[in-house]
Structure 1
Amino acid sequence: MQNFLIVGFGKVGSSLYRAMATHNRFNILLLDAKKDFKEEWASFLPAHSFFRNIVNIRQKSFEFIAICTPDDRINETVSQLQDFQLKNCAVFHTSGNKPAELLNPLRDRGAHIGSLHPLQTFNSMFLPPEVWQGITCTFQGDTKLKDNLQKIFDPLKTKIVPIDYQQKQLLHLVATISANFQVALYSWAEQILKASGIEPPDLNTWLGPLIRQVSTNLNQHPLSKILSGPLQRGDLNTLEDHLKLLKKYQKAADIELYRLLCQKLLENLEFEIKDRQKLKNFLEHYET
């Protein structure tokens, strides 16, 4: 059995734990000084595997250490780990925005280091191993560590893609836009309904099928082929009606957001948009 330590037991750390627990080769320990063990964790995690004080595990040797703490605690964790036996230990953090080089002090003590960032959303703790199924993880760091991690994740068909730090930051930006800003748009839609006096019993009941179909379309077709709606068909009258409704129920900033998103779609020449130039002229000169 190989010892695997996960430092930082939040949404990513607990979900990584469940994925690694599918391997019979690992004895997994968890460390988080900011949390107490909770009874509801017991169905996933034995209490004797969870530690709050790093002193209690400092004498153990680990083949793998995953740092899943918030970004502002990585340096502190690295400092604490320098007293561990690190020769040939594989150490990685899961931050999407911080470089692998934060772990250089551990490399100096013999560790193989890297940064593994899953392009996935983790909205709760203890997500099942399937959340890693077929996803892409970006990797920056030592090649030997990347190869070892790929072997570990192979059963889940997780793809580990080596990139440099600048590419890593850009991909984190893109992931944030793709995932988090979707939620912002859903929230905006809900605010418009509430401002108009319409109270849906559950936004997912009304808009969920539409949202899921867009996701299905993206899985089945190129991005350039999935755009539909009034902008795509060049329906200037409907766009103008939408802007008037926003003016009635929302702030001027929301009109600007609607216009900006339309313009962003128009910028992509791969979309088949009817009367593109007429739409651009209208949006550029529309007065709020």
Structure 2
Amino acid sequence: MSIGFIGPGKVGVSLARYFKNKNIVISGFYGRNPESLKEAASLTDSKVFLDLEDLIDKSNIIIITTPDDIISEISNQISKYNLTGKSVCHTSGSIPSDVLSSAENSGASIYSIHPMFAFSNKFTDLEQLNNVYFSIEGKNISKDSEVIKLMDSLGNKYFTRGSDSSAKYHLASVVVSNLALSLFNIGTGYLTELGLSEDEAFEALYPLITGNINNIKEKGYRLSLTGPVARGDVSPVEKHLSVLKDSDIEIYKNLSMNLLKLKAEREFCENKDSLEKLVQSSKKYSELLKLLGGIE
């Protein structure tokens, strides 16, 4: 198995370093920036390819790690060559594999291989990547597919998904990564209004963030519930609503409503009528529901 990369950026280089660490052969990199290509090749003990056909010839898996908006263009470029027996992949989670249809028409098997990880630079800690899940999407995936053999060689956990899943799949990643970042920023913003710097505010909140994540990992969402909504404390929620910025009120209410539903599911064994049963069983939860806009 020999893997060539088109795009010597942070995702391509990080994955190539990781694959090489797992004793998978990296043929090299092709791209537009000569300096980035040299760095990528140096970091992975591989080759700089200035000719696209040469990269294709030396690789049986070609992974496109360019920005999403030029994946189709790259597919059109490589489709000019014979791709019979080759696997052509991209690493976007938001675009289905059929963006590579021109490569498929030239004989390639096409896939989306998406690592569920936020790559911030080319020097990603390889130990972290051992725990990363991959998702695989493409036609006729079987245990004999090159991409499945690659996953098995890595030892990472992975799952396969349908071609119509890309939007919902990518949404899941964005919610827990990008949107969570936005929530952290909103939360630290309220502390900065008390005089803390942004760094101090995040440092103060960091144990709460990591502790919550560890609890969820160990016990699941419902058993990790804490805070005023889970306890049915109306007064703190009223006070929160009184000091929230107008732009944050709907976010607060919507997320708190979800917490209330989780509380109901915990109390009534995830019954479909659990929220109704919770508010009927307790005046304080009924008041909370009204506060959060659940009922008039």
TM norm structure 2: 0.83
**C-alpha displacement at 1:173, in angstroms?**
0.6
Is it true that 1:212 corresponds to 2:221 in the alignment?
A: no
* Distance 1:222-1:25 versus aligned 2 partners, 3 A rule: closer
Name the amino acid aligned to 1:28.
S
Name structure 2 gaps, 5 residues minimum. 268-277
How far off is 1:260 after superposition? 2.3
Residues 139/55 of structure 1: CA separation in 2 closer, same or farther (3 Å cut): closer
1:169 paired residue number: 167
1:122 alignment partner, one of 104, 107, 119: 119
Check whether the contact 2:131–2:156 (CA below 8 A) recurs between aligned residues.
yes
Residues 42, 58 of structure 1: alpha-carbon distance in 2 compared, 3 angstrom cutoff? closer
Structure 1 distance, partners of 2:104, 2:41, is 35
- CA RMSD, 1 decimal: 2.8
When residues 192 and 220 of structure 1 are mapped into structure 2, their CA distance, relative to the original with a 3 A threshold, is: same
Aligned residue number for residue 26 of structure 2: 27
Cα–Cα, structure 1 residues 88 and 41, in superposed 2: closer, same or farther, change >3 Å? Answer: closer
What percent identity do the matched residue pairs reach?
Answer: 28
Partner Cα distance (2:219, 2:133) in 1: 19
1:91 to 83, 88, 92: 88
Would you say the 8 A contact 1:100–1:115 is kept in 2?
yes
CA distance in 1, matches of 2:34, 2:218: 42
Query: Which shifted more, 111-120 or 141-150?
Result: 141-150
* Distance in 1 separating the partners of 2:12 and 2:223: 37
Where does residue 202 of structure 1 map in the other structure? 200
Query: Alignment partner of 1:284: what SS?
Result: coil
Q: Which residue of 2 aligns with 1:281?
A: 290
Q: Could you tell me which residue of structure 2 aligns to residue 259 of structure 1?
A: 253
AA aligned to 1:283 is L
Contact 1:134 1:157 in 2 (8 A): no
Q: Provide the C-alpha distance between the structure 2 equivalents of 1:112 and 1:38, rounded to a whole number of angstroms.
A: 26
CA-CA distance at 1:170 after TM superposition: 0.8
Q: Deviations over 1:154-184 (max 9, x none)?
A: 3543223121122232111111111111100
Residue identity opposite 1:92 in structure 2: C
Give 1:25 shift.
4.4
Alignment partners' CA distance in 2, 1:215 and 1:154: 28
Give deviations 1:254-286, integer Å, cap 9, x for gaps.
223222221232234424587432201122299
CA contact (8 A) 2:63 2:91 kept: yes
Unaligned runs of 5+ in 1: none
**1:21-45 Cα shifts (integer Å, max 9, x gaps):** 1243413311221463388768724
